[in-house]
Chains A and B, each alone.
Chain A
């Protein structure tokens, strides 16, 4: 890994405490990446929170999750992997519900917060790929 890349990785049982650990780790990542503007930080963090929470709330039985994120020049990357049964997800169908809805915003919000959001069923579980470009601030 080159000197320009800063990264975090958190893994463990897929539960909400793990999601909080991921968010704590991201807070630490931003300290090492002051060139990432605040809006890019918060939207990227939001997308990671939405996808990892989605993994946790849809997990049955013992599922582990691994979340890694890295900052490279001009791009934020994240990879979220779980050991749940591989599923098919129609990301394109994730629409923002109306204002009265109390749930169902997660995937639409994640999609709106990053430039790339992909889900791949894999032999060992599910893989999510997230990317967001940013213009470095001085």
Chain B
């Protein structure tokens, strides 16, 4: 997994390339915490190149969502691939981690 963070005007984007599993999940948790500590509490996870997510990866996404909300912001997912969308649906997480078409549109409207 390769993870990069970018700060945009009104939100931050974490781009995850490859597989989000137990190996990479701590890296995602750290990236979210660093953003929040630096004052960015509106976070989009760009999953357009995330080919696989397992339960540990889901745990890191849920943890990040909770941290962002506690900080007064939100964490949203964008451009989720079909295989990952299936996992979100099986775990009933598609309701709290609703897919947005693009990272740019994830915080449209609010």
Contact = CB atoms under 8 A, between A and B. Distances in A.
Interface in B46-67: 52, 54-56, 58-60, 62-63, 66
A98 B92 CA distance: 8
A10 to B, nearest CB: 15
The size bracket of the interface on A is 20 to 34
A39 B89 CA distance: 13
Contacts of B83: 38-39, 42
A125 interface: no
Interface string B68-106: 000000000000001100110011110110000000000
B22 A105 contact: no
A56 B95 CA distance: 30
Q: Which of the listed residues B54, B82, B93, B96 has the most CB atoms from chain A within 10 Å of its own CB?
A: B54
A16 B19 CA distance: 13
B21 interface: yes
A50 B23 contact: no
A121 interface: no
B95 to A, nearest CB: 7
Interface in A97-113: 98-103, 105-106, 108-109, 112-113
A19 B22 contact: yes
A106 B55 contact: yes
Nearest to A107: B55
Instruction: Specify the main secondary structure of chain A where it touches its partner.
Output: helix
Interface in A1-37: 16-17, 19-20, 23
A53 interface: yes
A39 B52 CA distance: 12
A103 to B, nearest CB: 5
Nearest to B96: A99
Contact of B93 (A46, A49, A99): A99
Contacts of B92: 96, 98-99
Interface string A111-122: 011000000000
Interface of B: 19, 21-23, 52, 54-56, 58-60, 62-63, 66, 82-83, 86-87, 90-93, 95-96
12 contacts: A23-B52, A42-B86, A49-B21, A49-B52, A50-B55, A53-B21, A53-B55, A96-B91, A103-B56, A105-B91, A109-B90, A112-B90
